[in-house]
């Protein structure tokens, strides 16, 4: 059940929600761990921090900003080199976004990825940036998920009240950010986090497929009057 009124704005996480980047991220993580540690940390560390900015993820593992920067550079070099080979599209994403726009719903991206990587991922999955009314990345000078600041920034730029907005994401950080921002939270079960892990965060809606947004969310056919 929705806890708010009709939804006129839907914001999306990127990795694991709009694009299937799990293999790309995991391979880049493994490459970075092998390059910087004699004994790489266990992979459950990756999943526990997945969905946060790279600097936050690596900051849990090393002590200095210089070490974090070196790991970021290693990760990005591998990630960009292997990007087109490993990234995938989720089914029905483009068609569903186009339908949402046709119904008068404003859509946006709120991601912990930097702007360069965001643009690359959207292009690789044939998602035109002009589809989105707002894109907020980790380059913005605000705290990042699970802090609600990036979700609130997107709402502010759209002049959209949280009561008529939703945030769709695949991670626990997405659910926490959405709850704190006061929007309807939608758990994307097609990402790497399990239904059990996401259910603990008490999302308002849990969906098995992207196109379920159209049937489950009783969306309006036209935006509210100005």
134: containing domain: 9-20+88-216
Per-residue pLDDT tens for 19-57?
999 899 889 999 999 999 998 888 777 777 777 788 888
Residue 122: CATH number of its domain: 3.40.50.1000
The pTM score is 0.86
* φ, ψ for residue 171, nearest 5 deg: -120, 165
Same domain assignment for residues 34 and 138? no
pLDDT value for 218: 47
Residue of 13, 15, 20, 174 with catalytic role: 13
From the list 156, 187, 160, the residue with the least C-alpha distance to 105 is 160
Handedness of CA 221, 222, 225, 226 (dihedral sign): positive
Per-residue pLDDT tens for 135-147?
999 999 999 999 9
Residue 86 to residue 47: CA distance in whole angstroms = 18
From the list 133, 199, 191, the residue with the least C-alpha distance to 160 is 133
Q: How many domains does the chain have?
A: 2
Per-residue pLDDT tens for 146-186?
999 999 999 999 999 999 999 999 999 999 999 999 999 99
- Answer with the one of 43, 66, 86 that is the final residue of a domain: 86
Whether residue 208 lies in the annotated active site: no
* φ, ψ for residue 40, nearest 5 deg: -60, 145
Per-residue pLDDT tens for 81-115?
999 899 999 999 999 999 999 988 999 999 999 99
């Amino acid at each position: 059940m929705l806890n708010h009124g009709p939804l006129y704005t839907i914001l999306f996480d990127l990795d694991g929600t709009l694009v299937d980047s799990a293999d790309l991220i995991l391979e880049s993580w493994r490459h970075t761990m092998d390059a910087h540690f004699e004994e790489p940390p266990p992979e459950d560390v990756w999943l526990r921090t997945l969905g946060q900015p790279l600097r936050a993820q690596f900051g849990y593992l090393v002590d200095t900003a210089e070490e974090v920067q070196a790991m970021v550079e290693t990760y990005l070099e591998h990630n960009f080199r292997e990007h087109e080979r490993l990234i995938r599209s989720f089914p029905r994403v483009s068609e569903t976004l186009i339908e949402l726009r046709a119904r008068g719903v404003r859509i946006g991206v709120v991601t912990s990825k930097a702007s360069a990587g965001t643009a690359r991922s959207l292009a690789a999955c044939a998602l035109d940036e002009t589809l989105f009314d707002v894109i907020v990345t980790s380059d913005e000078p605000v705290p990042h998920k699970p802090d609600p600041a990036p979700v609130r920034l997107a709402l502010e730029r759209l002049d959209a009240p949280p009561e008529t907005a939703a945030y769709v994401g695949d991670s626990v950080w997405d659910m926490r950010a959405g709850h704190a921002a006061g929007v309807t939270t939608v758990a994307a079960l097609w990402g790497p986090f399990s239904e059990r892990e996401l259910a603990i965060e008490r999302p308002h809606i849990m969906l098995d497929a992207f196109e379920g947004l159209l049937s489950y969310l009783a969306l309006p056919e036209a935006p509210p009057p100005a």
